[in-house]
C-alpha cells in the first residue's frame, strides 16, 4: 500500500476526516487511476495492483457491521 493511502487510512482512524470524505477521496483515486491508464501513464499491471489496494481500503470506509434485530 502506498504511503498516500496509509496516510488517508490513518486520518480516518484518528477521526481527522469523516467516512464520507474518506469515500470521496477513494472515489477520486479511482478516477485518477482510470485516467492514468487511459493516458498510457501506467501499465495495465500497475493499474490492477493499485486498484486492488483501493479495493482493500473500500470496505473499511463503511465501518464495522452494526447489530440489528431480526424480525
Select from 59, 37, 39, 40 the least CA-distant residue to 50: 37
CA distance 50 to 69: 38
Answer whether residue 43 is part of any domain. yes
Is pLDDT larger for residue 38 or for residue 3? Answer: 38
46 pLDDT band, cuts 50/70/90, is very high
CA distance 7 to 71: 41
Answer whether residue 66 is part of any domain. no
Answer whether residue 67 is part of any domain. no
Cell of 1: 500500500
Instruction: Report yes or no: 54 and 26 within 8 Å, Cβ to Cβ.
Output: yes
Model confidence pLDDT, tens digit, residues 8-28: 888 888 889 888 898 898 899
61 pLDDT band, cuts 50/70/90, is very low
From residue 56, give the alpha-carbon distance in Å to each of 38, 67, 69, 70, 71: 23, 23, 28, 29, 32
Answer whether residue 46 is part of any domain. yes
Amino acid at each position: 500500500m502506498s504511503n498516500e493511502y496509509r496516510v488517508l487510512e490513518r486520518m480516518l482512524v484518528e477521526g481527522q476526516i469523516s467516512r464520507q470524505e474518506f469515500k470521496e477521496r477513494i472515489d477520486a483515486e479511482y478516477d485518477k487511476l482510470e485516467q492514468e491508464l487511459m493516458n498510457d501513464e501506467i501499465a495495465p499491471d500497475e493499474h490492477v495492483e493499485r486498484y486492488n489496494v483501493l479495493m482493500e481500503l473500500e470496505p473499511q470506509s463503511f465501518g464495522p457491521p452494526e447489530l440489528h434485530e431480526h424480525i
